[in-house]
Structure 1
Amino acid sequence: MRQEFDVAARVRQVIDEAGCTQREFARRVVMDPSKLSRSLGGTRRFTVAELARIADAGRVDAGWLLGTTGPDETAADTPEPAARTSPPEGGRPLQIVRETVRLIAEHGFHSVRVADIAAACDTSTAAIHYHFPGRAELLEAAVRWCMDEDTMRRAARLAEADDALEELRQLIDLQVPDSTQQRHQWLVWMDLWSEAARSTAIGQLHAAFYREWRRTIAEVIRRGITQGVFRDVDPEFSALRLTALIDGFATQVVATAPGEGGTSAEVMRTACLAYLDTELSAQPPHRPDETRSSPFP
């Protein structure tokens, strides 16, 4: 138990020296914040891969975290010593995850090999396994990174809005796959949906993300009712309908490349905003033939 306490104490030291919150540090090392908290509290052991990512983020040696090397020593079996002269932006773990997300979006999770990820990161397969031992860990990390990125973008958009109606419009716009980044994220979500049906761990992550996403929408709707911009509807049920509408349209949009005759991003945006007009807005709904031309052929 003494050794475990020392490990937790040294991880806390790394977090303190990083100058960020514990949650932000968890994002940097692509780790579930609750797992980091439990490990720091002594009710859960850090895995070797987690300690490798923590060492990378803190620019310290993993052996020092475990007490097997001194602060100025480097463990002999570490694939990538902490004293790199040109570390990837955000550290090696985040680089691995970003490239994994890109490759999954372009080729599908089951078509991506560890060797492909290593080549994209200009490193070795040993270095990939050092940070993420298996494909399951890589998929979970990729999904978690996408979730965190999406959550941060949502918070930024909500901060810019004047009222709940504008907040909801901003959230809808954020989900429309009209950029390469958004198309990539939706393609990763599609792989996640199929994996969630087969994997308990990924399924739980998927369920947690959607609970939080629907909760965000429901809170905005509830706020809009109080502000008088939305009708008196059931916020949870309306959030369920709206998120399902977004998912369905986004799937259609990314099913074909832009300009190939499928459902366009603009059609998705128009249809989802029309939902606000007809189902939520306290004002009379706009009529397409009165205020704008229909996006449909």
Structure 2
Amino acid sequence: MQHQAGSPGSRVPDAGGDVAERVRQVIGEAGCSQREFARRIVMDPSKLSRSLSGSRRFTVAELARIADAGRIDAGWLLGAGPTPSPGPTPNPRPATSPGAGRAAAPVPQVKSRTRSVAVARTDASDGGRPLQIVRETVRLIAEHGFHAVRVSDIAAACDTSTAAIHYHFPGRAELLEAAVRWCMDEDTARRAALSRASGSARAEETPSAGAATADRELRQLIALQTPRTEQQRRQWLVWLDLWAEAARSTAVGRLHADFYRQWRRTVADVIRRGIAQGVFRTVDPEFSALRLTALIDGLATQVLAAAPGEGGTTVDDMYAALIAYVDTELAAEPR
């Protein structure tokens, strides 16, 4: 079988489904769900699903990230290398510093019949090279803005070459999408953790005490969206770049719409539960969620735009305004 690897953004032929089958093996060895594996390689889960089903072809860059996550040679995914022995699955926890997890091993060359495929080996402790690239991209976007960040800046932050960056992410658009997707996944993970904790609390509480659960959970969701920590500020600064790009890019626009659809659904579900519990008034959950999330966005933008000590909107102002909205517009008994 012959495969032309081509440029990182080019599609890999897979008429017989051999590439997809090898990717399935990698996912199986990783011991995680398909969605979690997509998160590790910073790929849209729906794209991964379509590629595995044969309705979409993988790109060279996507296979590079899959090879990195599976700790195997990219050439094997293309049918050009020996069957690999299962390697350790990368731990996706964040690096503790910008330079954590830098590759020290040499970069081997895997020969296909038509092209050499470079495979970067990375320390598994930080989740692999692709996630390191994405985290550094998020940090640099937050500090300088997307259009001020060069690929060479990202390469320097990762202690690697621009070619290695393009090997995993062909262009700036892919880097922005990956950075936004990573922020989305982090935000979704925090909300999921909150939901699990709230579910456990509901199971343990008495019926009378449980009536306050939805109100408390909504306040906790609001706290998660208030840019107090450095990580929260970074993610909000990336959102600002996302909004600008979403107006010009169909791909980023779809990503933006998908995230906000999920976020508003989360808020609406909490409001709906609060109505059933009697702690919230009978309102339209979806419309109330739209209003509340829009208020969060607007206030966060004001907070980020305010220079320290200049008398602008503060984080405390933002939180107080949002809680006031809950108390006056949603609470069954306005406070």
TM over 0.5: yes
Higher helix proportion, which one? Answer: 1
Q: How many residues align?
A: 283
Q: Give me the whole-angstrom Cα distance separating, in 2, the residues matched to 1:258 and 1:229.
A: 37
Alignment gaps of 5+ in structure 1: 286-297
- The partner residue of 1:70 within 82, 103, 120 is 82
Report the alpha carbon displacement of residue 74 of structure 1 after superposing the two structures with TM.
4.7
Report the alpha carbon displacement of residue 69 of structure 1 after superposing the two structures with TM.
1.6
Equivalence for 1:283: 333
Amino acid at match of 1:283: E
Aligned residues: CA RMSD: 1.6
Q: Give me the whole-angstrom Cα distance separating, in 2, the residues matched to 1:31 and 1:2.
A: 19
Q: Give me the whole-angstrom Cα distance separating, in 1, the residues matched to 2:193 and 2:14.
A: 42
Q: Give me the whole-angstrom Cα distance separating, in 2, the residues matched to 1:180 and 1:258.
A: 15
- The partner residue of 1:179 within 211, 229, 240 is 229
Amino acid at match of 1:28: R
Report the alpha carbon displacement of residue 261 of structure 1 after superposing the two structures with TM.
2.4
Equivalence for 1:21: 33
Asked if 1:222 is matched to 2:259, the reply is: no
Which shows bigger deviation, 221-230 or 258-267?
258-267
Would you say the 8 A contact 2:21–2:52 is kept in 1? yes
Q: Give me the whole-angstrom Cα distance separating, in 1, the residues matched to 2:127 and 2:309.
A: 35
Asked if 1:92 is matched to 2:129, the reply is: yes
Given the superposition, is the C-alpha separation of residues 259 and 158 from structure 1 closer, same or farther in structure 2, using an over 3 Å criterion?
Answer: farther
Which digits, 9 at most, give the CA deviation of each residue in 1:118-154, with x for residues without a partner?
A: 0000111110000000001111111111111100111
Pairing 1:1-297 to 2, within 5 Å after superposition: 4-71=16-83, 74-76=109-111, 77-82=116-121, 84=122, 86-87=123-124, 89-161=126-198, 162=201, 163-285=213-335
Structure 2 residue matching 1:75: 3-state secondary structure:
strand
Which shows bigger deviation, 191-200 or 255-264?
255-264
Would you say the 8 A contact 1:158–1:170 is kept in 2? no
Which shows bigger deviation, 16-25 or 158-167?
158-167
User: Runs ≥4 in structure 1, deviation > 4 angstroms?
Assistant: 1-4
Would you say the 8 A contact 1:51–1:62 is kept in 2? yes
Report the alpha carbon displacement of residue 41 of structure 1 after superposing the two structures with TM.
1.0
TM-score, normalised on structure 2? 0.81
Q: Give me the whole-angstrom Cα distance separating, in 1, the residues matched to 2:243 and 2:75.
A: 38
Would you say the 8 A contact 1:176–1:265 is kept in 2? yes
Report the alpha carbon displacement of residue 87 of structure 1 after superposing the two structures with TM.
4.5
Report the alpha carbon displacement of residue 2 of structure 1 after superposing the two structures with TM.
6.7
Q: Give me the whole-angstrom Cα distance separating, in 2, the residues matched to 1:120 and 1:237.
A: 43
Given the superposition, is the C-alpha separation of residues 4 and 36 from structure 1 closer, same or farther in structure 2, using an over 3 Å criterion?
Answer: farther
Q: Give me the whole-angstrom Cα distance separating, in 2, the residues matched to 1:242 and 1:4.
A: 49
Report the alpha carbon displacement of residue 213 of structure 1 after superposing the two structures with TM.
0.8
Report the alpha carbon displacement of residue 274 of structure 1 after superposing the two structures with TM.
0.8
Q: Give me the whole-angstrom Cα distance separating, in 2, the residues matched to 1:117 and 1:257.
A: 27
Would you say the 8 A contact 2:300–2:318 is kept in 1? yes
Amino acid at match of 1:71: T
